[in-house]
A and B are shown apart, each in its own frame.
Chain A
Amino acid sequence: EAGVAQSPRYKIIEKRQSVAFWCNPISGHATLYWYQQILGQGPKLLIQFQNNGVVDDSQLPKDRFSAERLKGVDSTLKIQPAKLEDSAVYLCASSLRVEGYTFGSGTRLTVV
């Protein structure tokens, strides 16, 4: 079974620029998650999709972050404009049920 695919693996941008991350979940997984992991901390859930609908985006900074999951398959997460504190690893995960989560390798974002 193919895993969760994420791209790019690394991204360096200047503050105030925009950036987008892409995630392709495991085929058939209805639920998709984006997590932000700042260095030295645990992953924090940004947004959860069920098919193409948003289930939970309570911790998504909506003034600068946006995410979509068109057609209920792959997803993009965008930051515009980026701030220094957005430097983190952005992890995508998908699940079929509450016991089966699979994480991608993540995108490491550095904002300078």
Chain B
Amino acid sequence: SQQGEEDPQALSIQEGENATMNCSYKTSINNLQWYRQNSGRGLVHLILIRSNEREKHSGRLRVTLDTSKKSSSLLITASRAADTASYFCATVIQGAQKLVFGQGTRLTINP
């Protein structure tokens, strides 16, 4: 069964705008990770946030984690056409060494 649920399922914005994707999960986690996938192929790791962290930055990416609400958000600032992809959140459940993925958000950046 899937642990995470992303919202929205699809997002279309203009180049230069910010994109925000949300992820909710069900059980206590060790960490939460965001991945990008182009054209249904390999997954590229973007950023990891541990359960004791609340916010993390990497370049144009900003991730927040609210363990009380069991939710996370990924913000991509100043979007570019190359950001067009599917984005997945994945959780590592406490006590288990495996990634459980959500259904993903399909992001389209319009030039």
A56 interface hit (Cβ, 8 Å): yes
Contact present for B31 and A99 (CB under 8 Å):
yes
Contacts of A105 in B (CB 8 A): 41-42
A24 interface hit (Cβ, 8 Å): no
User: Bound complex: CA of A101 vs CA of B99, how far in Å?
Assistant: 9
Chain A residue with minimal CB distance to B89?
A42
Q: Which 3 A-B pairs have the closest CB atoms?
A: A42-B101, A105-B42, A103-B43
User: Bound complex: CA of A91 vs CA of B40, how far in Å?
Assistant: 10
B88 interface hit (Cβ, 8 Å): yes
Interface stretch (choices A11-19, A31-39, A66-74, A77-85) = A31-39
Total interface residues on A, using CB and 8 Å? 28
Chain B residue with minimal CB distance to A30?
B97
Contact present for B101 and A56 (CB under 8 Å):
no
0/1 interface trace, chain A 23-54, chain B, CB 8 Å (1 if under): 00000000101010101011111001010000
Chain A residue with minimal CB distance to B1?
A59
Chain B residue with minimal CB distance to A102?
B45
Interface of B toward A, CB cutoff 8 Å = 2, 4, 30-31, 33, 35, 40-45, 48, 88, 92, 96-104
Report B46 CB to chain A, min CB distance, Å. Answer: 12
User: Bound complex: CA of A31 vs CA of B99, how far in Å?
Assistant: 12
Contact present for B101 and A44 (CB under 8 Å):
yes
Report A10 CB to chain B, min CB distance, Å. Answer: 11
Contacts of A56 in B (CB 8 A): 96, 98
With contacts A42-B102, A43-B101 taken as known, whether A101 is within 8 angstroms of B40 at the C-beta atoms is no
Contact present for A98 and B41 (CB under 8 Å):
no
User: Bound complex: CA of A56 vs CA of B42, how far in Å?
Assistant: 22
Contact present for A99 and B42 (CB under 8 Å):
no
Contact present for B42 and A48 (CB under 8 Å):
no
Contact present for B103 and A104 (CB under 8 Å):
no
Contacts of B96 in A (CB 8 A): 56
Contact present for B104 and A101 (CB under 8 Å):
no
